[in-house]
A and B are shown apart, each in its own frame.
Chain A
């Protein structure tokens, strides 16, 4: 493991402070967006373990989000249990499904795996649409607000700490931030661990990993289980924050957004899932408020359509310019700065975490 130098530490401290004070700097709608970003980043962190560390591409993430969301709804609303129970349970049940789907990766590889997990999403949607008792059927169902001891996250509730007031959106934000911090720490320490190194070995060359004595099957299934568990937790929070969802929503598009987030953030990196989630989940609403776009509803081409075009083109342009993602971009900037400050040219190096 690499030791943190003081600059990195300062940066980390700055980021954490920023994340904590953010709700006081943002307007209501931007805070809502930020909350969706943080909730999304939890699931992205999970997918990053599977795809970034272990090299297994899954388009099935939406399925595990749905499993988590419906577990939360069943236990939190129908059985009226505390969020202390249903949030971990959502992760647990999703992990069980991860263990069921995971072994497929033992037979099927690469883009074939991507497509087979895409099949899981479609089959999942079929089940959700027909399991009326659990999901409300095609009409959808409501999801419970988080209840944590004395804390009630329903809309209209608020927490007053001295002179500071945190509304229900803020509460969701902090809860999601805590869980994201936990997930990130876990993923970070996983990479240095034996299991994490096994995953990276599987990613780099499966046959070689096998020769080195890595239990490839167990490693892949473990990655699926971790990825699904984090997706489940994220899905439970997502459903709860959204308060209502239909089976249609757990779609391939949702899965693609998570893949996009980790690729754009930087595959296999620690900060990648969060950075990518910011781009993927916040950009569409930010783009709609670009100054040069006409105001919505004044006729002509809709701003939503224009911003979607820009969104698509940005993904293309960005990945062409920097296929290693935002973290890669950061590395490039650092190299640039170093080259300028030192007299002798330094060969550009990547942070060891970045995937080449």
Chain B
């Protein structure tokens, strides 16, 4: 039982990180129909910026996180404003390809600046943990869950109660109509990219936290979040969060309990099998919606 609870906690914690990553995908996709393949590279950059600021520059950790998140927010919005704005209206996979190119350059850029070795994150939690009924709770995992909860709540508050949030929801509904009533659609697109940058920083922070470390392959975890966003539906922020948590738990549970006949490392594909099964039943995910189609 302790073993089960331990795995459930670890899965939930991993799932929260997937939720942060997934939300970053959905925020952009909902507003502009762009699947941002550079999300993984962005969280890599976020983790390295935090590490650089906290360890090499020596600023307090919280400051490092805030500065890194701000830089990525600006970077994300800037990339949208300078690069993607020029290809508005192009087919979605051309834009997706541009984000792939940007991701390739970013990952190599991190290697060029900081080298291929793993680094210290510079976080105050390290390996410290406490026990609850035999289950070990790592402080960094707990903070990951808390910060995810705050970030998700913050996002939903933004979405529901601010003008920008309303505008973005309107764009998600019908971009042309929103444009015609005077909403600055382009600025809204830039805002979604900024939000994705901030979310990526937080995702990177907790991926690189103990027992992990900032290293160049960190961004690959974003691929593991794909099943999460698809499970929930590409257009549904709630779906991304639920999907993230579910996939995290599925992954850790199968790594603990998958029978031998499923082959070595079945847990790495289990999320994809769940995803394909869900999509075949509900083609737009559990909570996504089909785009209206005119004849």
Contact = CB atoms under 8 A, between A and B. Distances in A.
Direct contact of A and B (CB under 8 A): yes
A145 interface: no
Contact of B94 (A263, A306, A310): A263
Given A112-B283, A119-B272, A308 B105 contact: yes
A188 interface: no
Interface stretch (A101-109, A171-179, A342-350): A101-109
Given A114-B35, A126-B269, A211-B295, A312 B112 contact: no
Interface stretch (A148-156, A225-233, A315-323, A333-341): A315-323
A256 interface: yes
Interface string B133-161: 00000000000000000000000000000
Interface in B250-295: 263-266, 268-269, 272-273, 275-276, 279-280, 283-285, 293, 295
A286 to B, nearest CB: 16
A11 interface: no
A316 B275 contact: no
A62 B264 CA distance: 21
Interface of B is mostly: helix
B223 A315 contact: no
Given A112-B234, A130-B263, A320 B98 contact: yes
Interface string A303-315: 0011011111111
A171 B227 CA distance: 43
Contacts of B234: 111-112
Contacts of A115: 226, 230, 275, 279
B275 A319 contact: no
Interface stretch (B60-68, B84-92, B167-175, B206-214): B84-92
A107 B283 contact: yes
B101 A112 contact: no
A279 to B, nearest CB: 11
Interface string B103-129: 111111101100000000000000000
B103 to A, nearest CB: 7
B108 A260 contact: no
Given A107-B279, A211-B295, A259-B93, A123 B273 contact: yes
Nearest to A118: B226
A16 interface: no
Among A51, A123, A355, max chain B CB count under 10 A is at A123
Interface in A73-128: 104, 107-112, 114-116, 118-120, 122-123, 125-127
Contacts of A164: none
Interface string A282-316: 00000000000000000001100110111111111
- Chain B: number of interface residues, binned into ranges: 35 or more
B105 A313 contact: yes
B85 to A, nearest CB: 10
B265 A126 contact: yes
B96 interface: yes
Contact of A312 (B108, B263, B285): B108
B273 to A, nearest CB: 7
A51 B107 CA distance: 28
Contact of B223 (A104, A114, A252): A252
A57 interface: yes
Contacts of A123: 269, 272-273, 276
Contacts of A207: 293, 295
A138 B101 CA distance: 29
A159 interface: no
B83 interface: yes
Among A208, A264, A309, max chain B CB count under 10 A is at A309
Contacts of B269: 122-123, 125-126
A107 B280 CA distance: 6
A309 B264 contact: no
A114 B111 CA distance: 29
A204 to B, nearest CB: 12
A146 to B, nearest CB: 32
Given A130-B264, A319-B97, A112 B87 contact: no
Contact of A320 (B86, B93, B273, B275): B86
Contacts of A111: 29, 35, 92-93, 96, 234
B59 interface: no
Among A111, A114, A316, A319, max chain B CB count under 10 A is at A316
A308 B108 contact: yes
Interface in A187-241: 207-208, 211
B35 A312 contact: no
Nearest to A306: B112
Contacts of B29: 111
B102 interface: yes
A129 B265 contact: yes
B100 interface: yes
A119 B92 contact: no
B274 to A, nearest CB: 9
A319 B98 CA distance: 7
A309 B98 contact: no
Contact of B92 (A51, A110, A252): A110
Interface string A25-68: 00000000000000000000000000100000100000000000
Given A118-B226, A207-B295, A316-B83, A104 B101 contact: no
Interface of B: 29, 35, 83, 86-87, 90-94, 96-98, 100-109, 111-112, 223, 226-227, 230, 234, 263-266, 268-269, 272-273, 275-276, 279-280, 283-285, 293, 295
Interface of A: 51, 57, 104, 107-112, 114-116, 118-120, 122-123, 125-127, 129-130, 138, 207-208, 211, 252, 256, 259-260, 263-264, 267, 301-302, 305-306, 308-316, 319-320, 323, 355
Report, nearest first, the 7 A-B pairs whose CB atoms are least far apart. Answer: A312-B105, A315-B101, A312-B104, A130-B263, A308-B108, A119-B272, A316-B101
